Amino acid sequence: MPKIRNFEKSIEIMERSRKVFPGGVNSPVRSFRSVGGSPIVFSHGMGKNLFDVDGNRYVDFCSSWGPLILGYSHPSLISAMQEQLQKAVTFGAPSDLEVRLAEKVQNWIPGIEMMRFVSSGTEATMSAVRAARAVTKRNKFVKFEGCYHGHADQFLVKAGSGLATLGNTSSAGVPSGTTQDTLTAIYNSEESIHEIFCQYGNDIAAVIIEPVAANMGLVLPKPGYLEFLRKVTKENGTVLIFDEVMTGFRLSKGGAASYFQVQPDLWTFGKIIGGGIPAAAYGGKKEIMQMISPLGDAYQAGTLSGNPLAMVAGYATLSEIENQNAFEKLESLGKYLDSLVQKELTPFIEKSKVCFVRIESFFCFFFGTNRAPNNFDEVSKTDMKLFNKVYHEWIQNGIYLGPSGYEVGFLSACIEYEDLDLMVSIVKNVLNTED
């Protein structure tokens, strides 16, 4: 075990930061509220490594929450962006760069007949639901407890304890009027969907789901669940939206739709599509996307939408994924991680101390259980205190993940096997001391 790391400068910057930003941060999870302690303030990243302002090095499994599938500062991204910086960072007018990226997206995901770029995942999901409401002329939509679709009012709803509840807001500042058409279902539950459709079938514009839920730890869809949703939505004239902000360009080349061979009507993307520069998109069936202005009457706009810098970063990322055959590398890292968990953690799995879930380059350790959770309720019963303990050992030993047990770990293509050895050995050490 190394010496205790020094975080003096991080702490000093956070003290200043708390005076200017709520909780010292520009997005809540960054505050370390979940894991305790003071956030690490970073200075730079290179490949698989992140460096903080005190000079500590970390192997990065956070990937800036997903976009950095190639790691930090990939040379082909840097040169593409440098070239664009000389030309223009924004036009607020059409450019070939946005068409080129959209065509590449269509090439990877042929179901995207028409799309639109926006600047954040929040805008993408908000706009996709608007398009669905416009085409169906219905108001209600279904989301799943524990799935995150950004912070637009209508999504900030928590489910009640029943199978379905009409929207109770889970955030202050969200009037109940804006969530009254939000219906909440239980992830992986057919019964919960049946109940909702029995009651509101003719009024439901959309069902939106993270096809792999990666905002409540990692929860995989039960075999056949996405097919079930496809069937029910089709029968009810409801638009099925896959929120692929996380899974798009990561779960496979064609994202979750291709991975599970289930075709939604609309998709939302973010993260990798902008290569780490703010960009997101929504798209899918032409008949739905034609509802969007100026073709249709559903208004949606953005000053920096299709931003040139983001468009070249996204294009360079997708191209480099192809050049490197990144999915193959990620798969072999993932398989190695599975085998390590088997080798090192089996006694603890047998004693229900830990459960490891992985799909492609997403992974998650749940503690205090050996059963992979199927929904939010099961996730919230896992041992988050133990996660926090492991988390701080990871930090002390130079492993960085998103600071919460409700987040996932991401593999990037520049991670090495020895980094996985270190990450798993720390889990093992903590579990040994707990024994």
Nearest Cα to 411, choosing from 363, 344, 372?
Answer: 363
Does position 188 bind ligand PMP by CB under 6 A?
Answer: no
Residue 320 tokens read as 């480099």
Residue 399 tokens read as 């492993």
How many amino acids of this chain bind ligand PMP (CB under 6 A)? 15
Does position 246 bind ligand PMP by CB under 6 A?
Answer: yes
User: From the CB of 334, what's the least distance to ligand PMP, in Å?
Assistant: 20
Does position 65 bind ligand PMP by CB under 6 A?
Answer: yes
Other CB atoms within 10 A of residue 304 CB: 17
User: From the CB of 213, what's the least distance to ligand PMP, in Å?
Assistant: 8
User: From the CB of 414, what's the least distance to ligand PMP, in Å?
Assistant: 22
- Report the helix count and the strand count for the chain, using DSSP H and E: 14, 17
Nearest Cα to 271, choosing from 127, 70, 87?
Answer: 70
User: For residue 172, with 0-12 CB atoms within 10 Å meaning exposed, 13-18 middle and 19 or more buried, which class applies?
Assistant: exposed
User: From the CB of 430, what's the least distance to ligand PMP, in Å?
Assistant: 27
> Tokens 């998650």 correspond to what residue?
364
Per CB under 6 A, the segment of 145-153, 310-318, 348-356, 358-366 that binds ligand PMP is 145-153
For ligand PMP, which is the closer residue by CB, 283 or 398?
A: 283
Single residue of 10, 17, 56, 122 touching ligand PMP by CB under 6 A: 122
Per CB under 6 A, the segment of 116-124, 178-186, 216-224, 362-370 that binds ligand PMP is 116-124
Does position 10 bind ligand PMP by CB under 6 A?
Answer: no
Does position 121 bind ligand PMP by CB under 6 A?
Answer: yes
Nearest Cα to 125, choosing from 207, 189, 233?
Answer: 207
Contact 260, 247 (CB under 8 A): no
Instruction: Supply the angle between the helices 326-350 and 417-434 in degrees, to the nearest 10.
Output: 20
Does position 275 bind ligand PMP by CB under 6 A?
Answer: no
User: Which of the residues 52, 60, 243, 419 is marked catalytic?
Assistant: 243
The one-letter code for the residue type at 328 is E
User: Which of the residues 58, 72, 148, 400 is marked catalytic?
Assistant: 148
Single residue of 215, 307, 374, 404 touching ligand PMP by CB under 6 A: 215
Nearest Cα to 117, choosing from 254, 278, 324, 265?
Answer: 278
Catalytic, 243? Answer yes
Strand partners, 72: 47
Phi, psi at 322, each rounded to 5°: -70, -50
User: Which of the residues 140, 271, 285, 353 is marked catalytic?
Assistant: 271
The one-letter code for the residue type at 166 is L
User: From the CB of 243, what's the least distance to ligand PMP, in Å?
Assistant: 5
Single residue of 31, 49, 125, 169 touching ligand PMP by CB under 6 A: 125
Question: How far apart, in Å, are the Cα atoms of 10 and each of 48, 52, 54?
Answer: 21, 8, 7
For ligand PMP, which is the closer residue by CB, 117 or 348?
A: 117
Catalytic, 148? Answer yes
Going by the DSSP 8-state scheme, the letter that residue 173 receives in this structure is: T
Catalytic, 271? Answer yes
For ligand PMP, which is the closer residue by CB, 74 or 271?
A: 271
Does position 270 bind ligand PMP by CB under 6 A?
Answer: yes
The residues that touch ligand PMP, with contacts defined as CB under 6 A, are 65, 120-122, 125, 148-150, 210, 215, 243, 245-246, 270, 280
Q: Active-site residue numbers?
A: 148, 243, 271
